[in-house]
């Protein structure tokens, strides 16, 4: 399914592939201008699929060099090939079968830097979102998961390092002047997580002992001369692994974890399974040249890519419309990590500034789109602050709505229920519904409605009855393609600060749901009436920026000074 031809892709058109991919064996014979790729793929027809349906594989600027069915040549009458597709007919109705595809590609000439390319003497890959189809014909979509075995053959002088996903099986001399390296990734993954790196690189090694007492080898590969600048990145990696165990119960699942940091990598950072690839500005640092912000960025990005091992890799997206499911959730996790490692209030202030300066304008402009869009022409255009940052805020609101215990139980269920699967936003939300008993149908509008809600606020205090009325009105603005909006479920953390600086007991309330210190705004207009409030309180609303909304509320200078003096929320 190509997305660069101007054809609109619709979420509603999703359907699973006709064939299930069981296993992938890839062999690369590296050459700067003529790399040979043999792809041995084991398929079986999905149950219920028309026995006459052909196998349709994606390509991008490919030329087919060879095609075998169960090790025998496929007659030309049985397939059609173009640079963008390979269609094979007359395949078994039920039994598994093997297709072997041979292609030749030119890494040096690959100026798109998608698929396999070579720059500055280093072979490197970038396959997200649809780059694998530039390597071989393949069902190049995120819901096609399989274990991979990789064999890399290359000039041993030019490529003393040859890396791929998974665990190292072995390597040795192959023939005169060439060597091979074999890798096996037992965890089924989609093609966008495939990675290959080969060239002359230096390595820094360490180890990490997991919570089940397995020793994992850690390696950071860099250009020669940069070895001494990897210490902070290695420390950040080890702290990320430990934190993910302690906070989310997620243990690393391979024998080795590798980072490659090169100056020519074009995507910033990429979470390929077991073989993360970074632009080296997000890995290298030393006290003489790096700023505090450089160190903070390295820590956050190392953590983000590592955390993808579970939120993105072990559990991935059914289709690219679900991109927020891996990116928004993983941004939430890396924000929480940084908050725990540093200062939570300082970190949250920085996040909100970023959201308000970058995402709010996007939500209010001509490019406004939902956290989960329903159409696209080019998926690479949806790696946006809305998908990443607002997507993170949506997960944060789930945590606010449910509370710490139910949120943790929901995440645990998500990992248990969907490990090894390609899932949807609905699958994710259902886990939280199941553990909490709460219907999140209205809340899920955060995934489907674009725009930043505006909440108008007014208050009224009656001394004689000791009642405080808080009136809220929400408005979700029209955005391109969405002129009319439904009311959102907006969780607003709040406090009523009394004149002595203490927080009023706000448990006696009518007019809407209040759980702990969270107001649930679910209607267009709601008035919450609090009783037993002994003195006129000052309202502190949307504490910790619990919801990504604009608040319209005029407070007096005296009230603002009271908040500055007594509010514990920064």
Question: Which residue among the candidates 305, 336, 351, 362 is catalytic per the annotation?
Answer: 305
Q: Does the annotation count 305 as an active-site position? A: yes
Say if residues 308 and 253 touch (Cβ distance below 8 Å): no
Element (H, E) at 550: strand 550-552
C-alpha to C-alpha distances, 565 to 500, 528, 534, 535, 537, nearest whole angstrom: 11, 26, 20, 17, 14
The burial class, CB within 10 Å (0-12 / 13-18 / 19+), for 225 is: exposed
User: Which residues, in sequence order, are CB contacts of 437 under 8 Å at separation 6+?
Assistant: none
Say if residues 278 and 301 touch (Cβ distance below 8 Å): yes
Q: Which residues pair with 170 in a beta bridge?
A: 182
User: Which residues, in sequence order, are CB contacts of 546 under 8 Å at separation 6+?
Assistant: 396, 397, 400, 491, 492, 493, 518
Q: What are phi and psi of 394, to 5 degrees?
A: -65, -45
What gap in Å lies between CA 504 and CA 406, rounded to an integer? Answer: 26
What gap in Å lies between CA 377 and CA 527, rounded to an integer? Answer: 43
Q: What are phi and psi of 386, to 5 degrees?
A: -65, -50
User: Which residues, in sequence order, are CB contacts of 297 under 8 Å at separation 6+?
Assistant: 282
Say if residues 471 and 452 touch (Cβ distance below 8 Å): no
Q: What are phi and psi of 82, to 5 degrees?
A: -135, 170
User: Which residues, in sequence order, are CB contacts of 543 under 8 Å at separation 6+?
Assistant: 493, 494, 495, 517, 567, 569
**DSSP track, 236-281:** HHHHHHHHHHHHH-PPP-SSEEEEEEETT-SSSEE--TTEEEEEGG
Say if residues 174 and 180 touch (Cβ distance below 8 Å): yes
Nearest to 62 by CA among 120, 106, 95, 18: 106
Q: Which residues are catalytic?
A: 305
């Amino acid at each position: 399914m190509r997305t660069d031809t101007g054809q609109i892709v619709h979420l509603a058109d999703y359907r699973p592939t006709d064939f299930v991919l069981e296993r992938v064996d890839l062999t690369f014979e590296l050459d700067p201008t003529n790399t040979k790729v043999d792809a041995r793929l084991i398929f079986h027809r999905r149950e219920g699929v028309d026995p006459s349906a052909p196998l349709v594989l994606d390509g991008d600027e490919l030329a087919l060099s060879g095609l075998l069915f169960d090790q025998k040549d496929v007659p030309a009458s049985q397939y059609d090939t173009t640079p963008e597709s390979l269609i094979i007919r007359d395949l078994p109705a039920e039994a598994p079968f093997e297709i072997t595809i041979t292609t030749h590609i030119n890494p040096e000439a690959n100026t798109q830097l998608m698929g396999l390319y070579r720059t500055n003497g280093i072979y490197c890959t970038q396959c997200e979102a649809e780059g694998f189809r530039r390597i071989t014909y393949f069902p190049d979509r995120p819901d096609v998961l399989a274990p991979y075995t990789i064999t890399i053959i290359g000039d041993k002088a030019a490529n003393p390092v040859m890396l791929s996903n998974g665990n190292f099986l072995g390597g040795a001399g192959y023939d005169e002047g060439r060597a091979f390296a074999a890798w096996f990734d037992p965890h089924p993954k989609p093609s966008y997580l495939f990675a290959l790196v080969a060239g002359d690189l230096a390595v820094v090694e360490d180890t990490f002992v997991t919570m089940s007492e397995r020793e994992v080898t850690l390696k950071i590969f860099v250009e020669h001369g940069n070895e001494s600048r990897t210490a902070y990145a290695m420390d950040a990696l080890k702290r990320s692994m430990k934190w993910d165990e302690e906070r989310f119960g997620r243990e690393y699942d391979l024998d080795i974890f590798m980072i490659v940091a090169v100056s020519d990598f074009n995507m910033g950072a990429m979470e390929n399974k077991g073989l993360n690839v970074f632009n080296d500005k997000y890995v290298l640092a030393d006290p003489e040249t790096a700023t505090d912000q450089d160190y903070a960025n390295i820590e956050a990005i190392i953590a983000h890519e590592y955390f993808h091992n579970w939120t993105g890799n072990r559990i991935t997206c059914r289709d690219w419309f679900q991109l927020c499911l891996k990116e928004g959730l993983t941004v939430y996790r890396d924000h929480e990590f940084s908050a725990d490692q540093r200062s939570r209030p300082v970190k949250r202030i920085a996040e909100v500034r970023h959201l308000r300066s970058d995402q709010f304008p996007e939500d209010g402009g001509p490019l406004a789109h939902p956290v989960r869009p329903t159409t696209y022409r080019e998926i690479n255009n949806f790696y946006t602050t809305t998908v990443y940052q607002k997507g993170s805020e949506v997960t944060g609101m789930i945590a606010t709505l449910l509370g710490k215990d139910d949120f943790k139980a929901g995440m645990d269920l998500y990992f248990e229920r969907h490990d090894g699967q390609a899932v949807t936003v609905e699958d994710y939300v259902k886990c939280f519904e199941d553990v909490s008993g709460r219907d999140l149908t209205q809340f899920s509008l955060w995934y489907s409605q674009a725009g930043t809600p505006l909440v108008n606020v007014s208050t009224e205090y009656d001394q004689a009855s000791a009642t405080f009325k808080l009136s809220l009105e929400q408005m979700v603005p029209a955005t391109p393609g969405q002129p009319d909006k439904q009311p959102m479920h907006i969780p607003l953390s709040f406090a009523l600060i009394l004149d002595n600086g203490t927080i009023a007991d706000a448990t006696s309330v009518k007019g809407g749901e209040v759980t702990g210190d969270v107001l649930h705004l679910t209607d267009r207009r709601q008035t919450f009436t609090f009783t037993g409030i002994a003195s006129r309180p000052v309202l502190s609303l949307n504490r910790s920026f619990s919801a990504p909304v604009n608040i319209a509320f005029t407070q007096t200078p005296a009230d603002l000074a009271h908040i500055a003096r007594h509010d514990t929320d920064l």
